[in-house]
Amino acid sequence: MEVDDENKGNDNVDESLYSRQLYVIDHESMKKMQQSTVLIAGMNGLGVEIAKNTILAGVKSVTIFDPTVVQINDLASNFYATPQAVGKQTRAQSSIEQLKSLNPYVNVECITNNASLQQLIESKSYDVIVLVNYPLKEVVNYNKLAHALNLRFISCDCCGVFGQIFVDFGQEFECTDLTGEPPMQGMVVSVTKEKEGVVTVHEDTRHGMVDGDFVEFKEIEGMTQLNELKPRPIKVLSAFTFSIGDTTAFDDYTGQGLFFQVKQGAKLSFLPLSELLGMSQKDLMNAKQPKIIQTDFAKNAYEQHLFYLALQEYRESNNGKYPLPTNKGEENEKVYAFFTKLCAQNELECKEEATKAKYSELARASSAVISPMCAFLGGIVGQEVLKACSHKFTPLQQLLYFDAFECLPVGVADSEQFAAQNCRYDDNLAVFGKDIQEQVLKAKLFLVGAGAIGCEMLKNWALMGVACDARKQGSIVVTDMDRIERSNLNRQFLFRETDIGSAKSTAAAKAARAMNADIHIVSHENRVGAESEHIYNFDFWSALNAVCTALDNVQARLYVDAQCVYYNKPLLESGTLGTKGNTQIVVPKMTESYGSTRDPEERGVPICTLKNFPNKIEHTIQWARDDFEGEFAQTIIDINKYIERGDAFLKEIANKTEEVSTLQKIRAGLQTYDMDADGQRPLNFQQCVQWARNKFEHDFTHRIKQLLYNFPHDAVTTEGAKFWSPPKRAPNVIEFDAKDALHLAYITAAANLRAFVYGLKGSAEAEEITALLQKCTVKQFEVDPNKKIAANDKEKEEEKESMEMDDDEIEKLRESLKGENRKQFIGMTLSAIEFEKDDDSNFHMDFITCSANLRARNYRIEEKSKHDIKKIAGKIIPAIATTTALVTGLISLEFYKLVQSEKKKIEDYRSCYVNLALPLLTMSEPVAAGTTSVNKKGDEQWQYTLWDVIEPFNKSNGREKTVQDLLSYFEHEWASDLEIITYGNAIVYAFYMADNVLEARRSMKLLDLVQQVCGKVDDNARVLCFEVSATKQDSGEDLMLPTVSVYI
């Protein structure tokens, strides 16, 4: 897509491109970013990663500066450097064209003249300065300059598996939103009159605030003074109460009302690096406001700080270079000597042997720049750049250190393992050595998903050399069913405008090959599930070294996790939600699986709340979404089925109530439009508008009038309490007004959707719609004194039972439908509408937005923008490139541990939770797999985990084994009787079956029995998996046993 220069950096926000990011960074913050200029000096792998994340996010301009000529080892981390650029182009020149292609709205420039970095900073042409891999002394000097000019400054360094970040946004930096969390709001049920007035919120939802948050009130009855107060701070008393100060002078609270959290910004002050370097441990690690962010509580952040200073001291003494990876230890010793000197000066005690081993190894690997570390650090730094531009989220204050020491190889005596081979993997070799790199080259991995995480993962693997061996022994299989949409381009960085409509897996594989031509990658478009087990079968899973999920739903993750447990394969799991991310490493025989712990299921909204008593915008959106599905999808599908199959379709309907509703809708949908006779089949667009106008009247006027007839504003319950009390909100009737933009937009959307269903030509012209509305006749409201409206879900169920028609009435409906002469419609197919949230021309989101906001207006609920409603209606997961890059970097580091799994313990692995908005990073050891103990024959105890199965027979002869063989195995080995054997959902053998059945089945081969009961077993199946119920022969005690696997 081409973008004119005058449209670059303007105030307009392209929602179709930035839609997922705008749910993380709001429109106002996005506009600030679009006016911001960024300079990135240093274009090694980390610099390119930062530039990529910044450009994708949509700042005004990014200027890159690095006169260093590309070397062969740059190809291990700079994904835009090519072999052809080695020795010929600078790092900046080799990256510029690819960076420009990431986002047409961002001006990307490369400094090619002889300007110095000092001149660039002094020009004040850039709002944010980022320095990558600069020596500490230079960083200090450039930071002093930037601080004096009040420019926002970030520096960072990637040294093998050690990284450092420094942030300075000046003496006074205004942050408009510290957390990015949506402001809380809720219903008030009481307010006390006292010196510290206590507000109690409805038990339906916790208030979710902390001490010092500010609130304001609306619609409070009785104590109306609260409605006029400016936002005031609170003190939290419990999950449902908080105090707001003196309320003794106010009137008594009598009911109703809402509270709203009011987000407060903050002015933050930053110190230049020179001052931080002079601080003591006590000042830097101050509990109230530490200057060093803790990334792993198993490590000493101040110790990491001193190691960084020691490494920089060595670098200064060695002409700006880090220790060679092949040094015999003397260079590492120098770094460690600097480190111990700094420890002594700062009174830091360190355990000699363990500390020396760790920091000597970190020093040995420090000259390298590797892709996983660049992805991790680049995600953090990229987000800090966006904070500097948007003033949204809490900046990093001010230092961060990270090391992945646990990734490094153990016990490598030969330093030549780390020697360069004049190849693209030289930096990987410098860190991990030749043997590990060879295993990486031969790895066989399965990547499930090629979206944002999948793209970043493939980039990392291409640079690491995964599946890139010359003999093609390694392989990557990537599968994804989805096609590329425009909204993907903002974070799925392997895709371009020309890829829209292409399969994600195919385009991602092609892009990965462009980064490393040696990669052996195969793309599929299959859903991974039961339906594809003939493709992803025993042989496929057995050949894998590991599986990586890049999925956006829990059910798919659980399936892949179960397969990994079944086949004993490691799982690399990660996910993101806006600025939040998590990683989990699942190691066979060692850790719990992804499915071992699950979040509680989300509570559903009661039907009565949706139908009659909404109190949140989420309720009105769900109501609108359900209405859309009913009117334009399900009803139309039913009509088509009836046209095609007639009475045969009606006989399949589950119950009488459902049948009556379906019959009525089919009849109305097929009858020519007649308002008096309930016919709703339009013959022209005028009748579509007529239908939409009457639907408006029915949904937002008539049904509200009926509700208020049943439950007037002053209604009381049988206990004498107000009926319309929290969480219920008494509604108001809406009178249609064609001059109201929301009313007209609803009619336009509804009429055009109706026209689409019936194959008629619609119109979006306001003048034409208004003219057609003037010709419409509207049904007058008639109250139904006999209509019952359920006040809760229990009453709703009772109402359903009482509403069931008898068979005679249903038969009358059937006969009336036959009167429509179904044969005249045969061959006609109405167009059922499948909801598509990202097409702004199809009226789908227009209808849901208008419908949700009109219903919100009925109930005095705050209306929302189309953008906000789309997130909820479309169940959109907020996403941003920075978090995605970060989690894939961490997962890639865990992969290096899996390659060395025989030498790694559970404490060497790390799972992570991150929230870049705060910023918060917490590393933790994975949870060990739980064990179960059972006694075998002779009371021999056996402990097993979820990773274990019972294999009663040799793998070579299981096909011939009978049920009796299995019974005998448990009798002899476990001194137990098998009482029930199940395969899948079928019971194939059970003690309560007839004696003749049991006798016949005991003699059957297990495979034959399964096929007799369950049908033919797939030819590709290699194992039969049984669940068994067994009891001890001596005590009758039930045994808790794992799956029994029989190889066939």
Beta strand residue intervals within 324-420, DSSP E:
399-403
- Is the CA virtual torsion 341, 344, 347, 349 positive or negative? positive
Q: How far apart are CA 1008 and CA 400, in angstroms?
A: 63
Distance CA 970, CA 612 (A): 60
Under DSSP, the state recorded for 685 is H
Q: Is 548 designated active site? A: no
- Is residue 962 a contact partner of residue 1005, using CB atoms and an 8 Å limit? yes
Bond preceding residue 398 cis, omega within 30 of 0? yes
Query: 287-316: string of b/e by CB count within 10 Å (b at 16+)?
Result: eeebbbbbbbeeebbbbbbbbbbbbbbbbe
- Strands 521-524 and 475-479 come out as parallel
Query: Which amino acid makes up residue 650?
Result: L
- The three-point CA angle 29-227-199 to 5° equals 95
Radius of gyration from C-alpha coordinates of the chain: 34
Helix axes 371-390, 45-57, angle to 10 degrees: 40
Question: Are the C-beta atoms of 320 and 42 separated by less than 8 Å?
Answer: no
| DSSP three-state, residue 848 | helix
The torsion of the CA quartet 722, 727, 732, 733, rounded to 10 degrees, works out to -110
The candidate with the shortest Cα–Cα distance to 318, out of 330, 306, 307, 328, is 330
Q: Output the six-digit token pair for 203.
A: 């038990």
- Distance, in Å, from the CA atom of 109 to the CA atom of 97, rounded to the nearest integer, reads 9
pTM: 0.95
The pLDDT assigned to 267 comes to 96
Instruction: Name residues whose C-beta falls within 8 Å of residue 456's C-beta, 6 or more positions apart in sequence.
Output: 375, 493, 884, 885, 888
3-state secondary structure of 68: coil
Beta bridge partners of 962: 1005
Q: Which of 468, 608, 776, 850 is catalytic?
A: 608
Per-residue CA distances from 335 to 310, 340, 365 (Å): 6, 9, 12
Residue whose entry in the numeric block shows the structure tokens 């060395």: 900
* Nearest Cα to Cα of residue 428 among 445, 412, 409, 443: 409
Residue type, 929: A
Using an 8 Å Cβ cutoff, are 879 and 491 in contact? Answer: yes
Return the pLDDT at 143. 98
How confident is the model at residue 663, as a pLDDT? Answer: 82
The answer for residues whose C-beta is within 8 angstroms of residue 300's C-beta and 6 or more apart is none
Low-confidence ranges of the chain (pLDDT < 70): 1-10, 654-657, 677, 797-810, 813, 815-821
CA distance 865 to 873: 12
The b-or-e profile of 796-834 (16+ CB within 10 A means b, else e) is beeeeeeeeeeeeebeebeeebeebebeebeeeebebbe
* Closest alpha carbon to 854 in 763, 727, 737, 766: 737
Q: What is the pLDDT of residue 600?
A: 75
Find where tokens 């399936």 sit: 559
Compute the distance between CA of residue 1019 and CA of residue 1030 in angstroms, rounded to an integer: 30
Can you tell me whether residue 82 is helix, strand or coil? coil
Compute the distance between CA of residue 527 and CA of residue 541 in angstroms, rounded to an integer: 15
Q: CA 701, 672, 854: angle at the middle one, nearest 5? A: 20
> Which residue type sits at 142?
Y
